[in-house]
Amino acid sequence: MGASDDRMSAEDRLIADYFKPIATHPGALALTDDAAFVTPAPGTDVVLKTDAIIGGVHFFAEDDARDVARKALRVNLSDLAAKGATPLGFLVSLALPKDTSADWLKRFALGLREDAEAYACPLFGGDTDRTPGPVMVSISMFGSVPSGAMVRRAGARPGHRVFVTGTIGDAALGLVLRQGATWPLTAAQREHLLARYLLPQPRNALAEVVRAYASAAMDVSDGLAGDLTKLCRVSGVAAHIDVAAVPLSDAARAAIAADAAMRETALTGGDDFEVLCTVPPARADAFRAAARAAGVPVTDIGVVEAGAGAHFMDGGRELAFHRLSFSHF
């Protein structure tokens, strides 16, 4: 056989079989080209984000590949939500160990497809390579906002209220549970915490509301305490948080009741993928109403003040944390 035959490489076949159905945007050219293109709507900015997850670091090797794919997408979708952006699509760079099975790939593609559809965020292109290391899934995601409207970390001003969506700490406690913690929880409580670690539930339903009302926003991925500290630093302000107001699930409360040290884990542990934002006080009620209409629970947990740092107040006393946030370094 010469070069005239039309053999496809294993990589081409893999892409054709599993990933093409996710590349529904015409600019993706059905993944038959070197690159893709997108035509942004006039008057919009393209929001850009990349975040990777690695086997043994951000997920367990034995996790269902469907969940791995969805986690990889959702950690990026969460950033778009916090920036007030609507997803446009994503690129995926996938490094796979040699022994990766066809079934793993099939499950991975299934997860990617499900969430690409659920979040209207199609695949525009990708790159697959063999690696002697663990699975690594690097997603680059792009979204759109009206020009100049991307919500930033900078923008919090003294007097603004601090809000978070959902509940805080569940995923971090789910990880501790998975690592062998033996708190006396109900089956439903265990399941809740484990599920919150396994699969983020990003708040893309709130993106427009964040854009309309928030003075500053970010998603909580490295722990509430550390992430709020970052927001304060860039905004040049302090935040005073009422620890009692921080929303916790029943399951998280039960874990903290069993082991008081878990309160710090909940506040600093990361993987929440909730939205943290500040809202001018005059707009707080309207923000709350808009969030309710969007179906996303939000809680006022404190106030922005002049100064520096995030201060977590437990009654009259400020909490001292052993570490501010989760870091892979």
Strand partners, 303: 161, 240
Minimum gap (Å) between residue 304 Cβ and a second copy: 14
Identify which of residues 195 and 208 has a Cβ nearer to a second copy in the complex. Answer: 208
Identify which of residues 37 and 285 has a Cβ nearer to a second copy in the complex. Answer: 37
The answer for residues whose C-beta is within 8 angstroms of residue 241's C-beta and 6 or more apart is 162, 228, 301, 302, 310, 311, 312, 313
Identify which of residues 14 and 199 has a Cβ nearer to a second copy in the complex. Answer: 14
Identify which of residues 10 and 187 has a Cβ nearer to a second copy in the complex. Answer: 10
Identify which of residues 11 and 250 has a Cβ nearer to a second copy in the complex. Answer: 11
Strand partners, 51: 139
DSSP at 243: G
Minimum gap (Å) between residue 71 Cβ and a second copy: 14
CA distance 202 to 26: 26
Angle CA 96–68–74, to nearest 5: 125
Minimum gap (Å) between residue 190 Cβ and a second copy: 28
Minimum gap (Å) between residue 37 Cβ and a second copy: 4
Indicate the length of the chain as a whole number: 329
The answer for residues whose C-beta is within 8 angstroms of residue 202's C-beta and 6 or more apart is 74, 75, 77, 78, 80, 81, 119, 219, 273
Identify which of residues 145 and 279 has a Cβ nearer to a second copy in the complex. Answer: 145
Minimum gap (Å) between residue 41 Cβ and a second copy: 10
Minimum gap (Å) between residue 298 Cβ and a second copy: 19
| DSSP one-letter string for 207-228 | HHHHHHH-SEEEEESS-HHHHH
CA distance 110 to 67: 9
